[in-house]
Amino acid sequence: MLTRNDLALVLASSSPRRRDLLTEAGYAFQVVPADVEEIEDPTLDVEELVRRNAVLKAQAIAGRFPESIVIGSDTLVALDGVALGKPKDLDEAFGMLSRLVGRTHIVLTGVCLIRASDGVEKLFVEETRVTFRPLGPDQIRRYLGMIHPLDKAGSYAAQEHGDFIIERTEGSWTNVVGLPMEKLAAALATF
């Protein structure tokens, strides 16, 4: 029987959160960030966006590592069906969090696994509901001072002072962090 370390894995992401999740789960892997321009098409629904971007990232790396399983992933926050990506600056981060406080939103992560040598490709999307605490402007500014929001979808990090802003989650916690490990482990087990 194969173990987690018997799989040749390549993470097509520079995300330290994804790297930490894979390491904590006991996987051995290489990190080779996909240098691609993510699709940001407002005419596509959020689920389709994370799907397409996950595929784009995995395909960008798969040809270079044909015997490995390449993991491409993309996470977005959706509020009222609108994608909230990474903010451009602190003002935009403040605006995003102001829209999220006291409400429930959805975190969607698309994951694409490709092994080019035999043409195996698996694609799935995980969805988690997240409810934020009702916070005032000063509390939002305080939270933004605790983290670096500019590289995070929706301007927040569940794993960094998440208890300050998150009231509850429904679904995969690791999905909110950036990689749905439960579903990923099940998909990898099929290889």
Please list the active-site residues: 74
Which residues, listed in sequence order, are joined to residue 123 by a DSSP beta bridge? 112
For the stretch 29-41, what's the b/e string if a residue is b when 16 or more beta carbons lie within 10 angstroms of its beta carbon? beebebeeeeeee
Q: Where are the alpha helices (DSSP H) in 3-128?
A: 16-24, 46-62, 90-100
Q: Tokens at residue 42, please?
A: 């407002």
Instruction: Single out the residue of 15, 21, 14 nearest to residue 188, CA to CA.
Output: 21
> What are the backbone angles phi and psi of residue 121, rounded to the nearest 5°?
-140, 130
Nearest-angstrom CA–CA distance, 183 and 25: 12
**Does the CA dihedral 58-60-65-67 come out positive or negative?**
positive
Q: Which of 156, 26, 158 is nearest to 100 (CA)?
A: 156
Cβ atoms within 10 Å, residue 114: 26
